[in-house]
Structures are given as structure tokens and as C-alpha cells.
Chain A
Amino acid sequence: DTEVTQTPKHLVMGMTNKKSLKCEQHMGHRAMYWYKQKAKKPPELMFVYSYEKLSINESVPSRFSPECPNSSLLNLHLHALQPEDSALYLCASSRLRTGGYEQYFGPGTRLTVT
């Protein structure tokens, strides 16, 4: 089983709103990731959590705030976003295989900032 779930599937928010994206996996994976993907571009890494601790922040603006309440859950809190933040937000988790880690992605949340 390699399922990562994300809610909501779609989100429209104004620039003054506060909203949260949620990601969940029950595969026992100890690393979880947030990515942002614009159309016709590869996924762009935002944050990495390893054993529930933030290990990588790719210089993401503070209007994006990640949270890892437990090993199965990952949230991304959004506040005062800009229209250019509209994108597909992807969550992933990874498992160790022989030779390296494989990341499994959720279906994404399509975010539109108006």
C-alpha cells in the first residue's frame, strides 16, 4: 500500500484568508514532504519532515507554515497568500528501499488565490 491522501482536493481563498491543507499516510513512513507544482513545471520542494521534525525548509515565505502533529499527519497552514501562490500543492512520504528512498505522492490540492 502506497497511498497518501490529501484534503481538500480544491481550495479557493482570498488573500486575507487563513486556510490549511492536510496530508495523511498510514504506511509508517518517517519522512514527509510538501511540494508546490505550477503547470508544465516539475514539483518544487518546500519542506521536509523527518521523524516529525522539520529538516529542510527551501527558503519558503513565512505565509506558508508547515506542521507535523504526528508521524501520519502533515499540515500546511496558509495565511495572506498572493495570487502567484496559486498552484497544485503535493504531499509525499518516503520509504527506504534497497539503495535509496522512494517517494510516494498524494493527489494534490489545487489552490487558487483570488
Chain B
Amino acid sequence: DQQVKQNSPSLSVQEGRISILNCDYTNSMFDYFLWYKKYPAEGPTFLISISSIKDKNEDGRFTVFLNKSAKHLSLHIVPSQPGDSAVYFCAASVEEGGSEKLVFGKGTKLTVNP
């Protein structure tokens, strides 16, 4: 059973416009959420995170919104740039065995066209 879902495998936007990547989760025990960006054959790069006690966190061009009642979060990138083209993974943090582990979505491939 997939606990973190990214239902859009791909998204294409024009340079300068807003990119909105969505993520849904099913486990109400998740209390911390993260977004990662990944280029092929490289490790994921941490972008931004949000605690379940907040509904918004902003860092430069990146903003993450959390709707706990809907179990939904989204990543907004504005303005989008060609260098943002990558696969974006949503992840949720959960405690197990005294350690924190991440549960990842399947990713959304973002293409920003010049």
C-alpha cells in the first residue's frame, strides 16, 4: 500500500511560470514532510520541508503548502527556471525502531521549457 502518492508522473511548464507539484499521503502519523530534487545518476538534493504544525513554509522561489485535513501537500516553484527540470520526490518522515525513516512518493518529472 503506497502511503505517499504523487499522482502526476510528469509536468511541463514554461520558463517564468509557476510549477505546482502535488503529493497526497494516507498515514496520519506522518508529522514531517520533505521535498527532494533529483537529477539522473545523482543523489537527491534536499529542497524544503514542513512540519505538520504549520501550513506553509517558504524558501526563496520554493513554497510548500500543507493541508492536514486533506492529507495533501504541494510544492510551488515560482518563477520556474530551466535548471529546475528534474524529478521531484515528496517524502514523509515516520519514526520506527527509535529512528526516523522517510517514505517516498514515486516522483514527478518536471520539465521547464525555455
Contacts and interface: CB of A to CB of B under 8 A. Distances in A.
Contact of A105 (B45, B97, B100, B107): B45
Contacts of A94: 100
Given A99-B51, A100-B49, 14 more contacts: A6-B43, A41-B106, A42-B104, A43-B44, A43-B104, A45-B102, A55-B97, A88-B41, A90-B44, A99-B54, A100-B32, A103-B102, A105-B36, A110-B41
B60 interface: no
Nearest to B31: A100
B59 interface: no
Given A100-B93, A108-B41, A110-B41, A45 B49 contact: no
A92 B45 CA distance: 11
Contact of A107 (B36, B42, B99, B107): B42
Interface string A82-107: 00000010101010011111111111
Interface of A: 2, 4, 6, 31, 33, 40-43, 45, 48, 50, 55-56, 88, 90, 92, 94, 97-108, 110
Contacts of B101: 33, 45, 48, 56
A107 B43 contact: yes
B25 interface: no
Interface of B: 31-32, 34, 36, 41-46, 49-54, 89, 93, 96-102, 104-107
Contacts of B50: 99
27 contacts: A2-B46, A4-B43, A6-B43, A31-B99, A31-B100, A43-B44, A43-B89, A43-B104, A45-B101, A48-B97, A55-B97, A56-B97, A90-B44, A92-B43, A97-B49, A99-B51, A99-B54, A100-B31, A100-B49, A100-B51, A101-B32, A101-B93, A101-B100, A103-B102, A104-B46, A105-B44, A105-B45
B43 A56 contact: no
A108 B89 contact: no
Given A102-B34, A107-B42, A50 B98 contact: yes
